[in-house]
Amino acid sequence: MPKSRPKTEPSTQFEQHVAPNAPTPDEVARMTKQIENMPTSYFNHARIAAGYLDVRIFFGEQTVSPTGQVSFTEKLCIVMAPEFAHMFLALLGSQLMGFEAIFGKFRAIPQPNAVQKFSEKQKQQPKQ
């Protein structure tokens, strides 16, 4: 039986969603098993569709053709209950805050059409 967490005030907006009797991260790690040969994929695109009963997150890859045409290829869809999506947001947010504390602020999010503008600049540069 997991030990209950000590009663403290949440230090981040994400910690306020943790149940008081939830297992600690170390306890979760000990209880977690992984399948052999777990598939791993790279994604740089996500699209979310939410309804009353579930949240769907479509993961994919954004690519740019040599002519500067941007396309998205969705490769995986994860479906979850809205309540779990809320818990997942808290967990992901907490992890990203820790990442930022160690490595510094995240890079700025590119403006719309930044890829096309970059591609056009590349075309204008003289070839060596």
pLDDT for 115? 67
Measured distance CA(87)–CA(108) in Å, rounded: 26
Kindly report, residue by residue over 73-103, the tens digit of the pLDDT: 999 999 999 999 999 999 999 999 999 999 9
> What is the pLDDT at residue 53?
97
Distance CA 40, CA 75 (A): 12
Spatial separation of the C-alpha atoms in residues 43 and 58, rounded to whole Å: 10
Q: Which residues in the chain show pLDDT less than 50?
A: 1-2, 5
Q: Distance between CA atoms of 79 and 58, rounded to whole angstroms?
A: 9
Mean pLDDT over the full length of the chain = 83
The pair of structure tokens assigned to 112 is 């719309």
Helix (H, G, I), strand (E, B) or coil at 119: helix
Q: What percent of the chain has pLDDT over 90?
A: 48
pLDDT confidence of residue 44: 93
What residue type is 98 in one-letter code? G
**Where is 79: in which H helix or E strand?**
strand 70-80
- Tell me what pLDDT residue 118 has: 72
Say whether 73 sits in a helix, a strand or coil.
strand
Q: Tokens for 62, please give them.
A: 């954004």
pLDDT at site 1: 47
